[in-house]
Amino acid sequence: MDSTLLKYALPALIALAIFATPAAALEQNCRFIQAKPDREACYKRQEEELATKRKPVPATSESKTLESLHQMRQDDDAVYRSINNICRGC
């Protein structure tokens, strides 16, 4: 069992290490570009990629439902406060 684990796990870990490093290097390669316009274009591309990753999630029907329930709760509270101010038996 141990030899089987080493037989498959070790090459898998090596492959993971090899393929994971270029992904990290893609983010760092802009500073090594010598030409200033190319380097600035690289930085701009990276900034746009980060902006697309950070976009807020569009509102779903569940969030709209929660917003409407919150609004109804506020309206109910306002009605209850106005009812309590009515004189009953003046």
pTM: 0.35
> Helix-strand-coil percent breakdown of the chain, rounded to 5?
80, 0, 20
Convert the pLDDT of each residue in 18-41 to its tens digit.
766 554 444 568 888 889 999 999
Q: What is the per-residue pLDDT for 75?
A: 93
What is the rounded CA–CA span in Å between residue 69 and residue 73? 6
Mean pLDDT by 10 residues, the chain (90 residues): 69 72 58 89 90 75 84 91 73
pLDDT number for residue 72: 93
Q: Alpha-carbon distance 19 to 17, whole Å? A: 6
DSSP H helical segments within 1-90, as ranges?
2-28, 36-53, 61-84
Measured over all CA atoms, what is the biggest interatomic distance in the chain, rounded to whole angstroms?
92
Q: What is the pLDDT of residue 6?
A: 65
CA distances from 77 to 5, 22, 71 (A): 64, 57, 10
